[in-house]
Structure 1
Amino acid sequence: MNLLIIEDDASIQMLLKLSLEVEGFHPTISGTISEGLAELSSRTFDLILLDLMLPDQSGFELLKSLRQSYKDIPVILLTAKNEMNDKILGFQLGADDYLTKPFETRELVMRIRAVMRRMRSESTLPTSETLQVGVIEIDREKRTLRVADQLIKTTSKEFELMWLLCKNPKKVFSREHLLDQVWGYEYYGQTRAVDMLINRLREKLKPHGYVLATVHGMGYKLEV
């Protein structure tokens, strides 16, 4: 598995390179965003480890670009910041996981493998898999969401949340269950990320008569 590590701290670069090579990965180190983009344009990578604090640009800005140009490559954020708002922003921009420094390399390896398992699982889905719920049409292969034949733009996490809800219309999901299903692993901590995704989707669906209803004390469900 080829990994691109975009990290400017020399000691962390060396630690990650040695630790990941021992685990059988093939890491490539870039110290800046410009170096990382040059590597991406010349080679194929299976996963990106991205530091948020880089000398030439914010990692958040690069993440936005990656989700447009390299949307099929999973990204795990590495950062010294532990603020919940930074984590939520990272997930909103399309990060697949988030790890706060300092971290155990064993945990990083486990998270890399968990993300790749999820990616392989998604790649085995039938290519024609679509769902129709009333006038909502969601296509897993094309990653499109249409309501009354109108294309609704969604982020990666918004799409996954809608897919889950459309597969189970009127079923109530707890916040913890949505975190587990949409993020792909057990997420310990606040559930504000789910609430923010729900609120954004509500604004997009409301004009068409669809509601992501709150079931007090339980969670959320899709209603007409």
Structure 2
Amino acid sequence: MKVLIVEDDSRVSGFLDRGLKAEGYRTQVAGTAQLGMSLAKNLQTEVTEGAGDALVILDVMLPDGSGLDVCQNLRKENFKLPVLMLTALNTVDDRIAGLRMGADDYLGKPFSFDELLARIEALRRRSVQGVNPPQDRKLTVSDLVLDLGSMRLTRAGKDIALTAKELALVELMMSSPGRLFSRERILSNVWGVNEDPLTNVVDVYIRRLRSKIDLEGMPPLIHTQRGLGYRLESLE
């Protein structure tokens, strides 16, 4: 996924650029509204021509104009890519204004990088679902299959009964097979929090998933990287 960062503060843009690249995203940086508009249009053209998916992180306060105006003008020109507003202006009225101008999400500064990643991943899923309706999509890892239309999970053709939270967790991990998910990122995505209120809730749910998915005689799909997190993948 490609991410365009429109941010005039070099410290913030540098932090985002380095952090997102470390997470596997391809990035571009623009420090002005004018350059941001131009690169955003180019990015949409690339996506239309089949270059994969993309997203724009847009600051509100830019040296040559407002990010709100940038977002509104892009939407007037039928800009379809997700836009995440990132700004120190974080009152309810500010958030409402950003959403009314066409933003898909709004995150105030200062922010948690894990929360930013969680919001990017959520926007990415929504964007993909908008192109391919959930009923037509399935996630597959080895013989584990999640039908996103019916939210039915099977392994080797056998149904696996899961709770809503277990389904959300397995969907997250199956959306990026082989990717290491920290406990903090799982909490942000599945529970919507940045700290574990129950001290070990993620570990408990991982154990539950293992007991239902990694059955005796079957190759294990859920793997632990001690001290770092969990990944779901077939190692065969």
SS at match of 2:65: coil
Match in the other structure for 1:15? 15
Q: In the aligned structure 2, how far is the partner of 1:47 from the partner of 1:84?
A: 23
Task: Select which of 62, 87, 90 maps to 2:98.
Answer: 90
Q: In the aligned structure 2, how far is the partner of 1:186 from the partner of 1:56?
A: 38
Matched, 1:3 2:3: yes
Change (3 A) 1:187 1:19: closer
Deviations 1:155-199 (A, max 9, x none): xxxxxxxxxxxxxxxxxxxxxxxxxxxxxx9999xxxxxxxxxxx
Match in the other structure for 2:125? 117
Q: In the aligned structure 2, how far is the partner of 1:21 from the partner of 1:53?
A: 24
Change (3 A) 1:70 1:3: farther
SS at match of 2:62: coil
Match in the other structure for 2:219? none
| 5+ long unaligned stretches in structure 1 | 127-184, 189-224
Deviations 1:83-134 (A, max 9, x none): 11010111112211110001111110110000110111121139xxxxxxxx
Letter of the 1:106 partner, please give it: D
1:71 is displaced (CA, Å) by 2.6
Match in the other structure for 1:64? 72
SS at match of 1:72: coil
Aligned pair count reads 130
Match in the other structure for 1:205? none
Q: In the aligned structure 2, how far is the partner of 1:41 from the partner of 1:63?
A: 11
| Poorly superposed stretches of 4+, deviation over 6 Å | 185-188
Structural mapping, 1:40-59, within 5 Å: 40-43=40-43, 44=46, 46-59=54-67
Match in the other structure for 1:28? 28
TM-score where L is the length of structure 2: 0.51
Match in the other structure for 2:111? 103
Letter of the 1:99 partner, please give it: L
Change (3 A) 1:98 1:187: farther
TM-score where L is the length of structure 1: 0.54
Q: In the aligned structure 2, how far is the partner of 1:97 from the partner of 1:91?
A: 7
Query: For the pair shown, which has the larger CA radius of gyration, 1 or 2?
Result: 2
1:69 is displaced (CA, Å) by 1.9
The answer to whether the 8 A contact 2:37-2:74 is kept is no
1:38 is displaced (CA, Å) by 2.6
Matched, 1:73 2:81: yes
Identity of aligned residues (%): 38
Deviations 1:14-56 (A, max 9, x none): 1000100011101100000111123234443611000000000
Letter of the 2:76 partner, please give it: Q
Letter of the 1:122 partner, please give it: G
Letter of the 1:7 partner, please give it: E
Q: In the aligned structure 1, how far is the partner of 2:121 from the partner of 2:55?
A: 10
Structural mapping, 1:149-164, within 5 Å: none
The answer to whether the 8 A contact 2:40-2:56 is kept is no
Q: In the aligned structure 1, how far is the partner of 2:102 from the partner of 2:191?
A: 18
Change (3 A) 1:186 1:82: farther
Q: In the aligned structure 2, how far is the partner of 1:33 from the partner of 1:186?
A: 35
